[in-house]
Amino acid sequence: MSDLDLLRGTLDLLILKACTWGPRHGYAVTSWIRDTTRGELEVEDGALYQALYRLEQRGWLTSEWGLSENNRKAKYYALTAAGRRQLKAQVSTWERYARAVGRVLREA
Amino acid sequence: MNPLFEGLRRVFRLDRGPQGAEADVDLELEHHFAAAVEDLVRRGMSPEEARIVADRRFGDLRKTRQALVALSRTQAARRRNWEWRADWWLDVRHAVRNYASTPGVTAAVVTMLALGVGANAAMYGLLDKLFVQPPPHIRAPEGILRLYVRERSGFTGGEEITHSQFDLEQYAALARDVPAFAALAGYWGPSREASGRGQQAEQLRTQTVTGNYFEFLGVQSARGRLLEPADDDPTAAPAAVISYGYGQRRFGGSDAALGRALDLGGTTYTVVGVAPRGFSGATANAADIWIPAEIAGAAQGPHWRQRYWGGLPLRALARLQQGVTPTVAAEQAAAVLRAHYETALLPRGDRPPPFGALHVLTGSFMDAFGLEGISEGLRLSLLVGGVALILLVIACANVANLLMLRAATRRRELAVRSALGAGRWRVARMLLIESTVLALAAGMAAIGVAAVTGRVLRVVPVPNIQWATGVVDLRVLLFGSAVALALGLLAGVVPAVQARRGAGVDDLRAGVRAARRGSTPVRAGLLVIQGALALVLVVGAGVFYRSFEAARNHDAGFDLEQLLVVNLSPMALNPMDRPTLQEERVAAMDEQVRHLPGVMDVAQTSNMMAMSWTNLPLRVQGLESLPRMPGMRGPSIRGVTPNFFRVAGLAITRGRGFTETDATGAPKVTLVNTAMARAVWPSGDPIGGCLYVGAGSGECTTVVGVVATERASLRSDEVVMQYYVPLAQYPLPGNSRSLLVRARGKPEELVEPTLRAMAELFPDLPRDRARALSQWYAPERRPWKVGLGLFAAAGGLALFIAAVGLYAVIAYSVRQREHEFGIRRALGAQVSDITRLVMAQSVAFAALGAVLGAGLAYWGARFVTPLLHRDVSARDPAVLILASAVLLAACLLAGLFPARTAARADPRAALQAE
């Protein structure tokens, strides 16, 4: 797995996770990820947006225009049923992966 | 951006096109930066700093924007495609769910459309075959003409008639001497001929044809060869061609049929070929077998060619020379026929001279359009077609009405959809899909109805036509389903459009007083039309019923319903060639039948009752010539046993009947019927009058009594002057005899035992020789029976449909006005007041429908008059009044249930809603 693939898979997971609590607009997603990772993942917002669009295309997210907190037009993203299933699967894969890597590091 | 447009766009989920995608991305990014800066400022940065940080965090804006726009475009395209399909499916499912939620209305609509269209499709098939489509397998049928003759014949007392019967001499003259004809062919029949002997004999539908018949029509054989001119040679072995269907039925296949021998009229024919499948000859009426006219005629004895009316006639078909008009050909043909009269017929003196001129007319190849006028069967078919059409109109009116009501109840749904941004087209597409679903269901059901109706139509209106192929074919089915589809769409879309119009904010607001609209003018008009057409059909049933009754009560002169006729005359194609009866066998037969259980009495007669007449030269003492009266035939002679009048139920009005003493050698006596008595002795007393029977007879036959006149036909006014003589004194050779059997119960039950006796004593006679007398009249009564059945069924159906329609409309309006009725109740209106209020609607519809329907029935009377009993008027006021009463009753019944609902309206609920 190349760095990029790993990064992409991780990004997707994070974005899907960001949307579990209901529809969010693009900025809310980027700021939630930045805040929860405390800035430790150096991901540009532009890449996040591209990921958002890609996920929508895959049918895991769906978007709708709405009004934001301060009454501005914003595009809101929400998880679809398929997205929810995907998130569940990716979370378990990621956890298994992380456990395996952790075990290897502890053994060494 | 215009908010309305934005709303529409949202509902349609329209993407914004190429520019739209960019604008969308820009708008989203704009929001991102604004939100980011706002957020960072809130966390303590200066706006300038915040902007820089947001920019840095985002990365390469230009590249990202490009990538996003590209992604957005492919996404939009994919979604458009997917949504389009998903929406279709959604609409179809929505439509099915929608219809399933109102199963009653849906079933009614589908049933009505299917009945209306299916019946019409089958009818179209029948009329198409009768009037439009030439019989199959014929080359260039449009080039074929039928020949007719218009003349004043000596046979008909100088009355001008048009007919299409040519004897073989005339045919030969036409074929030889008319230069305008490129080809001429002749045929006769199909008529039923017995093949084989006795009660096992098979009835074959036989067409006698000229040798060039098949060549003239341009038919190719399926097996073997067809008839050729060489087959006309009387010395050749008699050849026959059979139909494909008969070959299958009788021999199990065309190959097995070749070379088989078939006996017809005493001649044995060899099957030389099989006609192609579906070929029915020059008429729609299919034949089983074709034989050469020359051979069949020769079997009838020496002078068969010249016997004009009684012998073997032909109908003539002609193809013209290039560039010759039918008028020229007709003139040439007329000249040839006139010359034939002058040179051949008149010198021979074997037929009376014609009165006045003779003309030849040419007509269409299609038999149904013959110059002889439309036959009863065809008229009935047309009538059936008309009735089917009326039913279709009623069905469509009702379907439209029901769908309009349905649409009206959906105004709210449509208004909500509109308000949510569904555009006109989106709604239209939904309604269109709904209609299509409905129409498809109706179309499939219509195909089923058409198949069943087609089977019935094959035999009911024109039973004497045997079809070589089914009435309903693929073309008819396609036509039917196309019509059903079109009507279904129309019926669905029109109400939808009507409902869409003005479905707006009002409908959203509607709470208690949803719609004040009662019935719209369109809806009311459709109801009135349905009522009117239903009335027309009920009137039709009424007048046909009266015809039926009139025929039953009609003074046939004798007891039609109790008599069985057994014809014992020997078999022969020509009455003149019959061998003499074996009297002892007749006596034995009389004895056997007399002792069958259920037989009251048996009489003998020289001529079959009401079916056959014999005219002899007759002189009346004191008269120069016999009076000729319009609509009167005869005088005819009949020899009878003394008990004949009692058995037949013919009343002797004056004088005496015959006794056993009026035997051979005793003084000759006769009874005349009332028609003859009135004509011959208009003022005097016929009793004691003197008849000289037979050419040059000098012996007086004394009139001893007068007897009631037996009717020859239930349909026509024609009367036969008739005189009866004792069978013992009958002046003609005894080669014709029938038993007249009076039954205690139904004469039909005596047929089988009689046939058993006949099989023993008269083994040569076929099964159809013993029949109930009423059966002879069945063809005359058939139009009334069919008419009655048809109109009764159609009228009942129409009334039911109209009543359902009225019920639906009134029930709807009652539901709309429930509030009003509640208020009325609260204000003191009685149950009866409200019932009356609602019922008044029903009565108004019934009255309007009756008035309009009466007008239509009055106008339509012309179409059924020729089919009715002559004593029954198609404009019978009693029938009209009764039919109106039936319509009123149906309407009242339809209004009764809604009226009761209205009367139960809760005043409290109405007041609370205020």
Condensed to tens digits (0 to 9), the pLDDT of residues B286-344 reads 889 999 988 887 776 666 665 544 457 888 999 999 989 989 999 999 999 888 888 87
* pTM of this structure: 0.62
Q: Answer yes or no: do A25 and B35 touch at CB < 8 A.
A: yes
Query: By mean pLDDT, which of B212-221, B236-245, B300-309, B774-783 is the weakest?
Result: B300-309
Under the banding of pLDDT at 50, 70 and 90, the label for residue B367 is low
**B220 close contact with A: CB closer than 8 A:** no
Q: Which of B390-404, B499-513, B572-586 has the highest mean pLDDT?
A: B390-404
Which residues in chain B have Cβ-Cβ distances shorter than 8 Å to A33? none
Under the banding of pLDDT at 50, 70 and 90, the label for residue B85 is confident
Under the banding of pLDDT at 50, 70 and 90, the label for residue B513 is very low
Which residues in chain A have Cβ-Cβ distances shorter than 8 Å to B60? 44, 46
Q: Count of A–B CB contacts within 8 Å? A: 70
Identify which of A46, A54, A74 has the shortest CB distance to residue B59.
Answer: A46
Q: Please list the residues that pair with B146 across neighbouring strands.
A: B317, B363
Residue pair B319/B169 in contact by the 8 Å Cβ criterion: no
Q: Measure in Å the smallest separation between the Cα of B10 and chain A Cα atoms.
A: 9
| pLDDT at position B416 over 50 | yes
Q: Measure in Å the smallest separation between the Cα of A103 and chain B Cα atoms.
A: 34
Q: Answer yes or no: do A46 and B61 touch at CB < 8 A.
A: yes
What CA–CA distance (Å, rounded) separates A66 from A71? Answer: 9
Q: Which of B161-175, B378-392, B416-430 has the highest mean pLDDT?
A: B161-175
**B31 close contact with A: CB closer than 8 A:** yes
Which residues in chain A have Cβ-Cβ distances shorter than 8 Å to B64? 46-47, 49-50
Q: B342, B351, B295: which is closest to B173 by C-alpha?
A: B342
Token pair, residue B24, equals 């969308």
Identify which of B27, B54, B64 has the shortest CB distance to residue A49.
Answer: B64
In the DSSP assignment, the letter for residue B730 is -
∠ CA B585-B587-B588, rounded to 5°? 65
Q: Answer yes or no: do B78 and A70 touch at CB < 8 A.
A: no
What is the residue whose two structure tokens read 């040059």? B696
**B687 close contact with A: CB closer than 8 A:** no
Q: Where are the alpha helices (DSSP H) in B421-514?
A: 424-459, 474-500, 505-509
Q: Answer yes or no: do A72 and B39 touch at CB < 8 A.
A: no
How high is the pLDDT of residue B373? 52
Sign of CA dihedral B682, B685, B686, B692: negative
Mutate to test the interface with A, among B53, B57, B83 (most CBs of A within 10 A): B57
Q: Measure in Å the smallest separation between the Cα of A57 and chain B Cα atoms.
A: 6
How high is the pLDDT of residue B178? 92
Q: Answer yes or no: do B59 and A47 touch at CB < 8 A.
A: yes
Mutate to test the interface with B, among A45, A54, A73 (most CBs of B within 10 A): A45
| pLDDT at position B356 over 80 | no
How high is the pLDDT of residue B215? 93
Q: B857, B840, B838, B866: which is closest to B798 by C-alpha?
A: B857
Which residues in chain A have Cβ-Cβ distances shorter than 8 Å to B68? 49-50, 53
What CA–CA distance (Å, rounded) separates B444 from B784? Answer: 33
Who wins on pLDDT, B489 or B319? B319
How high is the pLDDT of residue B781? 73
**B629 close contact with A: CB closer than 8 A:** no
Query: What are the pLDDT digits (tens) for B727-771?
Result: 888 888 777 889 999 999 888 888 889 988 888 888 888 777 888
How high is the pLDDT of residue B4? 46
Which residues in chain A have Cβ-Cβ distances shorter than 8 Å to B63? 46
Question: What residue segments make up the domains of chain B, in order of their start?
Answer: 3-100, 141-365, 376-551+780-913, 562-777
Q: In chain B, whose CA is at the least distance from the CA of A71?
A: B31
**B24 close contact with A: CB closer than 8 A:** yes
What CA–CA distance (Å, rounded) separates B310 from B575? Answer: 10
Q: In chain A, whose CA is at the least distance from the CA of B65?
A: A46
Q: Is B242 exposed, middle or buried (0-12, 13-18, 19+ CB in 10 A)?
A: buried
Q: Answer yes or no: do B60 and A47 touch at CB < 8 A.
A: no
Query: What are the pLDDT digits (tens) for B822-879?
Result: 888 888 888 888 888 888 888 888 899 999 999 999 988 888 887 787 778 888 888 9
Q: In chain B, whose CA is at the least distance from the CA of A47?
A: B64
Half-sphere exposure of B624 toward its Cβ, with a 13 Å CA cutoff?
0
Identify which of B28, B39, B64 has the shortest CB distance to residue A75.
Answer: B28
Identify which of B28, B38, B57 has the shortest CB distance to residue A26.
Answer: B28
**What residues of chain A have any CB closer than 8 angstroms to a CB in chain B?**
25-28, 30-31, 34, 44-47, 49-50, 53-54, 56-57, 65, 68, 70, 72-75
Q: B769, B754, B766, B771: which is closest to B198 by C-alpha?
A: B766
Other CB atoms within a 10 A radius of the CB of residue B392 amount to 22
Q: Answer yes or no: do A26 and B72 touch at CB < 8 A.
A: no
Q: Measure in Å the smallest separation between the Cα of A75 and chain B Cα atoms.
A: 6
How high is the pLDDT of residue B511? 46
Mutate to test the interface with A, among B15, B28, B56 (most CBs of A within 10 A): B28
Q: In chain A, whose CA is at the least distance from the CA of B58?
A: A45
Q: Measure in Å the smallest separation between the Cα of A7 and chain B Cα atoms.
A: 16
Query: What are the pLDDT digits (tens) for B6-43?
Result: 544 444 444 444 557 888 888 889 899 999 998 899 98
| Element at B270 (helix H, strand E) | strand B267-274
Which residues in chain B have Cβ-Cβ distances shorter than 8 Å to A34? 57
∠ CA B503-B507-B509, rounded to 5°? 145
What domains are defined for chain A?
A: 3-107 (1.10.10.10)
Q: Answer yes or no: do B35 and A56 touch at CB < 8 A.
A: no
Which residues in chain A have Cβ-Cβ distances shorter than 8 Å to B38? 70
Contacts 24+ apart (CB under 8 A), B451-460: B451/B122, B451/B477, B452/B118, B453/B118, B453/B119, B453/B121, B453/B122, B453/B123, B454/B122, B454/B125, B454/B126, B456/B122, B457/B122, B457/B123, B457/B125, B457/B126, B457/B384, B460/B384, B460/B786
Mutate to test the interface with A, among B24, B29, B32 (most CBs of A within 10 A): B32
Q: Is B588 exposed, middle or buried (0-12, 13-18, 19+ CB in 10 A)?
A: middle
Q: Answer yes or no: do A45 and B68 touch at CB < 8 A.
A: no
Q: In chain A, whose CA is at the least distance from the CA of B64?
A: A46
User: In whole angstroms, what separates CA B47 from the centre of its chain?
Assistant: 92
Q: Measure in Å the smallest separation between the Cα of A104 and chain B Cα atoms.
A: 34
Interval B525-530 mean pLDDT: 84
Under the banding of pLDDT at 50, 70 and 90, the label for residue B155 is low
How high is the pLDDT of residue B74? 85
Identify which of B31, B57, B60 has the shortest CB distance to residue A74.
Answer: B31
Q: Answer yes or no: do A72 and B31 touch at CB < 8 A.
A: yes
Which residues in chain B have Cβ-Cβ distances shorter than 8 Å to A25? 31, 35
Interval B882-898 mean pLDDT: 89
Mutate to test the interface with A, among B15, B24, B29, B31 (most CBs of A within 10 A): B31
Which residues in chain A have Cβ-Cβ distances shorter than 8 Å to B78? 57
Helix/strand/coil percent split, chain A, to 5: 60, 15, 25
**B29 close contact with A: CB closer than 8 A:** yes
Q: Answer yes or no: do A50 and B59 touch at CB < 8 A.
A: no
How high is the pLDDT of residue B518? 46
